[in-house]
């Protein structure tokens, strides 16, 4: 009797722990709520007793988006070594998508937004912040990914303080230049990023891809030979990872473009490009609709089941096409 009782107790305990991990994992996998940028900027400016200047909104948005992967339920999951985090893959993929967009924004902030011309000095705070976002996102040893991201965010706060003149460091000056050429530099960065996501999402059904790598240049060459056609197909085990990574990237980009709409308002109006940017924002908002299925479906073509990857690819492709048009408008408009 004692043996049976012990075995039963152990079985119930294991089942209880499993259920606990399951429900905690489900909770940690809930979609992250969108950020109210206007509210965050107003709150931050009120707390600091300052008036937002050019660049304040974009910097605040970068801080909040970067913080979102650290402060959401469950915290940062990509480098978890213990259950239930170690068994989750959708949310870590979402985190990586957000992180990729954070890295792009931090890089452009360092190279372009905070500098007026190619010969200008780079801001010391951004110079320290940008490399810290590039640590391996799965690093858990010293230094951990979370600690480096926190340090990067702290440097962004210092840059924002310098923008509005409340830095505690003597002779600490910072600028943010809302110029058309700076904005096109950022759009150049994210165009290729979105193009890559579109290709990976479309590969959920497999397709024969024509090699266009050297198209348009009769004397172009590449390192190794590649055939004129290639067959691309995302592994069944990677479908949900690619989907959630793309969803995370779209979520982050959506907020950055909303911030850009505010900081680059005069530039956009001068180029008559505000409507174009708003159309891109609308496409990205559509990509964040609730996924009602318990899993990412991979229906084929016009079959009976939906293909969520192709739906996401459609929104991202449309946003990317509009980005290309916006970039051309900023350059020539």
DSSP per residue, 41-102: HHHHHHHHT----TTHHHHHHHHHHHHHHHHSTT---TT--STTGGG--HHHHHHHHHHHHH
Number of domains into which the chain is organized: 2
The per-residue pLDDT for 178 is 94
In a domain, 117, yes or no: yes
Q: What is the mean pLDDT of residues 309-322?
A: 93
pLDDT tops 60 at residue 208: no
The per-residue pLDDT for 296 is 86
In a domain, 69, yes or no: yes
Residues 190 and 303 both lie in one domain: yes
pLDDT tops 60 at residue 230: no
Of 177, 196, 220, the residue at which a domain comes to its end is 177
Residue 206's pLDDT band (boundaries 50, 70, 90)?
low
Strand partners, 232: 207
Residues 234 and 85 both lie in one domain: no
Residues 141 and 202 both lie in one domain: no
The per-residue pLDDT for 1 is 46
Residues 45 and 72 both lie in one domain: yes
Tell me the range of 54-63, 161-170, 238-247 where mean pLDDT is highest.
54-63
Note the helical H segments in 122-273.
124-132, 145-163, 180-202, 239-263, 265-270
The per-residue pLDDT for 24 is 84
Residue 300 belongs to domain spanning: 178-207+228-333
pLDDT digits (tens, 9 = 90+) for 77-104: 998 888 888 788 899 999 999 999 999 9
Residue 114's pLDDT band (boundaries 50, 70, 90)?
very high
The per-residue pLDDT for 154 is 97
Q: Looking at per-residue confidence, does 114 or 172 come out higher?
A: 114
In a domain, 218, yes or no: no
The per-residue pLDDT for 222 is 73
Residues 246 and 333 both lie in one domain: yes
In a domain, 18, yes or no: no
In a domain, 13, yes or no: no
Residue 64's pLDDT band (boundaries 50, 70, 90)?
very high
The per-residue pLDDT for 225 is 63
**Cβ–Cβ < 8 Å for 297, 307:** yes
In a domain, 24, yes or no: no
Q: What is the mean pLDDT of residues 101-119?
A: 91
Residues 138 and 42 both lie in one domain: yes
Question: Cis before residue 219, ω within 30 degrees of 0?
Answer: no
d(CA 301, CA 298): 9
Residues 196 and 114 both lie in one domain: no
pLDDT tops 80 at residue 19: yes
Question: For a pLDDT cut of 90, what percent of the chain falls above it?
Answer: 60
The per-residue pLDDT for 207 is 62
The β-bridge relationship of strands 207-210 and 229-232 is antiparallel
d(CA 108, CA 176): 11
The per-residue pLDDT for 198 is 92
Residues 99 and 115 both lie in one domain: yes
Query: pTM to 2 decimals?
Result: 0.89
The per-residue pLDDT for 217 is 57
Q: What is the mean pLDDT of residues 101-129?
A: 91
In a domain, 25, yes or no: no
Instruction: Of 70-79, 113-122, 249-258, give the lowest mean pLDDT range.
Output: 113-122
Cα–Cα separations (whole angstroms), residue 57 to 43, 229, 264, 295: 11, 45, 10, 36
Residues 149 and 44 both lie in one domain: yes
**C-alpha Rg value of the chain to the nearest Å:** 23
Residue 215's pLDDT band (boundaries 50, 70, 90)?
low
d(CA 263, CA 54): 5
Residues 235 and 303 both lie in one domain: yes
Q: Which residues contact 110 (CB under 8 A, 6 or more apart)?
A: 122, 123, 126, 127, 129, 130
């Amino acid at each position: 009797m004692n043996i049976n009782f012990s075995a039963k107790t152990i079985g119930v305990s294991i089942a209880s722990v499993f259920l606990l991990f399951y429900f905690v994992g489900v909770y940690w996998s809930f979609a992250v709520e969108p950020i109210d940028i206007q509210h965050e900027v107003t709150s931050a400016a009120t707390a600091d007793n300052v008036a937002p200047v050019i660049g304040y909104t974009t910097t605040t948005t970068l801080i909040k988006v970067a913080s979102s992967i650290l402060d959401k339920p469950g915290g940062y999951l990509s480098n978890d070594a213990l259950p239930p985090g170690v068994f989750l893959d959708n949310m870590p993929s979402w985190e990586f998508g957000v992180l990729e967009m954070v890295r792009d924004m931090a890089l452009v902030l360092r190279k372009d937004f905070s500098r007026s011309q190619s010969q200008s000095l780079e801001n010391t705070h951004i110079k320290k912040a940008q490399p810290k976002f590039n640590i391996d996102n799965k690093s858990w040893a010293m230094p951990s990914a979370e600690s480096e991201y926190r340090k990067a965010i702290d440097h962004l706060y210092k840059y924002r303080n310098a923008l509005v003149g409340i830095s505690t460091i003597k002779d600490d000056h910072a600028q943010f230049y809302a110029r058309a050429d700076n904005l096109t530099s950022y759009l150049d960065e994210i165009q290729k990023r979105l193009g890559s996501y579109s290709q990976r999402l479309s590969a959920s059904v497999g397709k024969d891809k024509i090699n266009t790598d050297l198209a348009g240049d009769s004397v172009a060459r590449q390192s190794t030979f590649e055939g004129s056609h290639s067959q691309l197909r995302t592994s069944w085990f990677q479908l949900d990872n690619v989907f959630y990574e793309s969803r995370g990237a779209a979520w982050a980009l959506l907020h950055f473009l909303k911030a850009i709409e505010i900081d680059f308002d005069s530039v956009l109006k001068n180029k008559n490009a505000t409507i174009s940017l708003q159309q891109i924002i609308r496409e990205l908002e559509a990509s964040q609709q609730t996924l009602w299925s318990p899993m990412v479906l991979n229906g084929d073509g016009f079959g009976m089941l939906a293909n969520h990857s192709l739906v996401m690819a459609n929104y991202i492709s449309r946003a990317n096409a509009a980005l290309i048009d916006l970039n051309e408008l900023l350059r020539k408009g």
